[in-house]
Structure 1
Amino acid sequence: MRDTQIPLDDVTVDRSGRPVRFRYQGRLQVVRQQLDDWRTGGRWWLDEPPRDCYLVETAQVLAELHREDPPSSRWWLARIQD
């Protein structure tokens, strides 16, 4: 997997807050399977907030998605294998 750190603006989540689809390079990616999830404190030395992380598989890619804690609640495509 390669590091990307691309902000994602179009992420749809289920009731528990887990990603079910996201848009990458203009293409809608539907999550087929969530392979793992974990929580990390972020890189504190870079003032990153804590975040939830998800390793997901779609038909086209294997992706690691991160969602920062509020107030920003931003989504990131942290790593990808396509």
Structure 2
Amino acid sequence: MKAYQTEVHVDVREARPTRLIWQGQAYPVRAVLDEWQYGGRWWLGERPRTCYLVQAGPLTAELHREDGEGGRWWLARLQD
């Protein structure tokens, strides 16, 4: 997997990602392959987050969402 750590726009339904928009291209999420919680590195000020491994069109992507109100989404990694 290649690391990106890029903020992205993600459409959500019932608290799960349904569409990823990356580099101006929309990718519908066809399947959520895995979901897990990450506590974050609190000593660096990171918020806890929910992580998803998704199949979005031709992409297999790891998405992270900061927990809490207004949490940002970012593309953590893409499978090569």
- TM-based fold match above 0.5: yes
Q: Residue 46 of structure 1: CA displacement?
A: 2.0
Match for residue 40 of structure 1?
38
Match for 1:2: what amino acid?
K
Using the alignment, how far apart are the partners of 2:76 and 2:70 within structure 1? 16
Using the alignment, how far apart are the partners of 2:3 and 2:42 within structure 1? 19
Identity %: 52
Q: Residue 11 of structure 1: CA displacement?
A: 1.2
Using the alignment, how far apart are the partners of 2:76 and 2:56 within structure 1? 15
1:3 matches 2:3: yes
Q: Residue 47 of structure 1: CA displacement?
A: 1.3
Q: Residue 70 of structure 1: CA displacement?
A: 2.0
Match for 2:6: what amino acid?
I
Match for residue 65 of structure 2?
67
Q: Which runs of 5+ in 1 are unaligned?
A: none
Q: Residue 61 of structure 1: CA displacement?
A: 0.6
Match for 2:11: what amino acid?
T
Match for residue 24 of structure 2?
26
Aligned match for 2:48, one of 36, 47, 50: 50
Q: Which runs of 5+ in 2 are unaligned?
A: none
Match for residue 12 of structure 1?
11
Using the alignment, how far apart are the partners of 1:32 and 1:71 within structure 2? 26
